[in-house]
Chain A
Amino acid sequence: MTAADHRVDCRGQRCPLPVIRLAREITAVDVGGVIVVLADDPAAATDIPAWCRLRGHEYLGSDTDPDGTPAFAVRRSR
């Protein structure tokens, strides 16, 4: 996966908190930069790509962190 410019740790947080955190912290990276969200909530796998579609950012895919937590990568597009 693309190297992260910024990481958001949402482990233990339930939906929609990971998406709220992502929306708040997307501006921590420049346009074109990559933000990675660590989230173990089962809804994140659907809701993070859906947020990207709604807000016009690029969803890059998911990976698994060494501790087994899914990590979702997003490229800031605007």
Chain B
Amino acid sequence: MSGYLDAASAEPLHPAARAVLAEAYDRGWADPLRLYGAGRQARLLLDNARELVAAVLGARADEVVFTSSGTTAAHLGVLGVGAAGSVTTDEHEDVVVSAVEHSAVLYAARRRVDPAKGTVVEVPVDGAGRIDPGAFAAALTSSTGLACLQAANHEVGTVQPVESVAQAARAAGVPLLVDASQAVGRMDLPSGWAALVADARHWSGPPGVGVLAVRRGVRFRPPWPEDEYEAGRVPGAPNIPAVVAAATALRARIDEAQAVNARHRVLVDRIRREVPTLVPDVEVVGHPSERLPHIVTFSVLYLDGLSLVTALDRAGFAVSSGSSCTSNTLEPSHVLVAMGALTHGNIRVSLSRETTDDDVERFLTVLPEVVRRLRDEVGAP
């Protein structure tokens, strides 16, 4: 899809996944718990997909469950990992998170913590969006029930120092949940986690497939009634055809990862380098080197994000924005605020495997004209 520059929201379906989808519906429709042929066949497809996804994530197959979205996987992980056996516990419990976690993690953390008995402790980030591992480690105390740190940030692409935080968490006896939603297929995944969250939409799988991996031996209690599917952790049978397509997309994506990521790195470097020379008064945000290959974010002084998104859409480009005017709450992105970055006129460009050199070339041609026109309209200084 030409001009689509919002892969960090969702990627178009991988052709390899599309190729197996119809057959997966033909063979994977039955209840995987049933013992007759069609049920066993569905179960086999599900087991194979689980093996494949687990291997890529660095997990065992019996540690992985599929959910209906990455958001659900994050909610399930944050609410379930290390959760006390009884909901009536009087124990004081804090959850430690980075200030730039995905809102799915932050909202679930706020739901998990009873404000009368604990706090959601937010570890601040520097101007590049990175936590200080020493500060994160220092926030872990005997009353910390769970820590959450993303592998890399979804809005600005900054990679977090997960490995050293994982060491500190292990030493403190705190389970660490790692949101790897943007990282799978884009970078080497960190190890040392107690739980890992991923989302097939971000590796060009179909929408509606999330993944939660929980290490064996980690205490886990789902926030909803347990049934017989997905090790009792996710209610209801998974969407097996979509899971099969997600696993197929993942395998194809890992096979081509080196080439795609190298191409993205060149294109994103170009955008990071050229936008500030083509457009005056622009701030490129995110870490200059410790970052995902496919995301670049910048803020354009004196413009509102909604006008930019709309004007670029008219010019044939799909991008997202962390500016307040583009959010339902009219609050600016908590990620940009935590970084102290300019929040208005914000644009996130994220490349999919289908993005071409020509897309980026055209974007860099159109953007300066769009900005000049919009700045004229608002009478920018």
Chain A positions within 8 Å of B, measured between CB atoms, are: 14-16, 19-20, 23-24, 41-43, 45-47, 49-51, 54-55
Q: Are A16 and B345 in contact (CB under 8 A)?
A: yes
**Complex Cα–Cα for A41 and B304 (A):** 13
Given contacts A15-B343, A19-B302, contact A46 B325 (CB under 8 A): no
**Complex Cα–Cα for A15 and B346 (A):** 12
Closest to A45 in B: B337
Of B281, B324, B340, B379, which contacts A15 at CB under 8 A? B324
Which residues of A sit under 8 angstroms from B323, Cβ to Cβ?
15, 43
Q: Are B381 and A24 in contact (CB under 8 A)?
A: yes
Given contacts A47-B342, A50-B283, contact A42 B302 (CB under 8 A): no
Q: Are A16 and B303 in contact (CB under 8 A)?
A: yes
**Complex Cα–Cα for A69 and B24 (A):** 59
Closest to A27 in B: B381
Q: Are A16 and B304 in contact (CB under 8 A)?
A: yes
Q: Is B195's CB within 8 Å of the partner chain A?
A: no
Q: A14-B330, A43-B343, A50-B341 are in contact. List 11 more A-B contacts (CB 8 A).
A: A15-B343, A20-B302, A23-B302, A23-B381, A41-B324, A43-B332, A47-B344, A49-B340, A50-B299, A51-B301, A55-B281
| Min CB gap A24→B, angstroms | 5
Which residues of A sit under 8 angstroms from B345, Cβ to Cβ?
16
| Min CB gap A8→B, angstroms | 13
Number of A-B contacts (CB under 8 A): 66
Chain B positions within 8 Å of A, measured between CB atoms, are: 281, 283, 299, 301-304, 323-325, 330-332, 336-337, 340-345, 378-381
Which residues of A sit under 8 angstroms from B340, Cβ to Cβ?
46, 49-50
**Complex Cα–Cα for A14 and B345 (A):** 12
Given contacts A43-B344, A47-B342, A54-B342, contact A19 B301 (CB under 8 A): yes
| Min CB gap B172→A, angstroms | 32
Q: Are A43 and B324 in contact (CB under 8 A)?
A: yes
Q: Are A54 and B283 in contact (CB under 8 A)?
A: yes
| Min CB gap A70→B, angstroms | 14
**Complex Cα–Cα for A46 and B325 (A):** 15
Complex A-B: 20 CB contacts under 8 Å: A15-B323, A15-B332, A15-B343, A16-B302, A19-B344, A20-B302, A20-B378, A20-B379, A20-B380, A23-B381, A41-B324, A43-B324, A45-B337, A46-B332, A46-B340, A46-B343, A47-B343, A49-B340, A50-B283, A50-B343
**Complex Cα–Cα for A46 and B301 (A):** 13
Interface of A is mostly: helix
| Min CB gap A14→B, angstroms | 7
Closest to A50 in B: B342
| Min CB gap B327→A, angstroms | 11
Which residues of A sit under 8 angstroms from B302, Cβ to Cβ?
16, 19-20, 23
| Min CB gap B276→A, angstroms | 11
Which residues of A sit under 8 angstroms from B330, Cβ to Cβ?
14, 42
Which residues of A sit under 8 angstroms from B342, Cβ to Cβ?
46-47, 50-51, 54
Q: Are B324 and A42 in contact (CB under 8 A)?
A: yes
Closest to B380 in A: A20
Which residues of A sit under 8 angstroms from B336, Cβ to Cβ?
46
Q: Are A14 and B325 in contact (CB under 8 A)?
A: yes
Q: Are B301 and A42 in contact (CB under 8 A)?
A: no
**Complex Cα–Cα for A24 and B378 (A):** 12
**Complex Cα–Cα for A14 and B340 (A):** 18
| 4 residue pairs, one from A and one from B, having the closest CB atoms | A16-B344, A50-B342, A23-B381, A15-B344
Q: Are B378 and A42 in contact (CB under 8 A)?
A: no
Of A14, A43, A49, A54, which contacts B301 at CB under 8 A? A54
Given contacts A15-B304, A20-B378, contact A42 B332 (CB under 8 A): yes
